Amino acid sequence: MSGLSSSQRISGVGGVSSSSGSGFADAWAGVNIQLKKDDDTPAVLAFAEVALQEKHRVSSASFKSAVLGATTYKAIDPVVFSLTGAYRFNLFPAVEGSESLPKLDWAPLSTDMQESPNG
């Protein structure tokens, strides 16, 4: 689950004004499975997530977005290298009320390198 928070302060000739707000953003549920363990070749994990509820500008949606992806990693003591790729697809238009606009699907790819402590 995630939320949004905003705070704004405006100063001008007439003085200073401020406003703030916060609220619900979205809630997701997912599963992952290890397809291959880290041995001589990198480990592979697959995951799937679905949006239980998402808040948009003027409305909200349930079960309209999903993510499918995989992560591969290789641990070479004390460093862990990883690569994650995913594809998120949406079943609602990019701009609410405009069914003619394309949906905002995206496919992120990220790499990471972490040091793991040896205990």
Q: Tell me the C-alpha distance between 74 and 111, whole Å.
A: 12
Return the pLDDT at 116: 77
Residues of the chain scoring pLDDT < 70: 1-4, 56-57, 92-104, 118-119
- Which pTM value belongs to this model? 0.69
Residue 9: CB partners within 8 Å, gap ≥ 6? Answer: 16, 17, 18
Return the pLDDT at 93: 59
Q: Could you give phi then psi for residue 77, rounded to 5 degrees?
A: -40, 130
The answer to the question of residue 39 being in a domain is: yes
The answer to the question of residue 21 being in a domain is: no
Return the pLDDT at 2: 65
What are the residues facing 27 on neighbouring strands? Answer: 53
The answer to the question of residue 23 being in a domain is: no
Q: Tell me the C-alpha distance between 47 and 71, whole Å.
A: 8
Return the pLDDT at 35: 97
Give how many domains the chain has, as a whole number: 1
Return the pLDDT at 81: 94
State which residues form the domain around 41.
Answer: 28-115
Q: What count of residues does the chain have?
A: 119
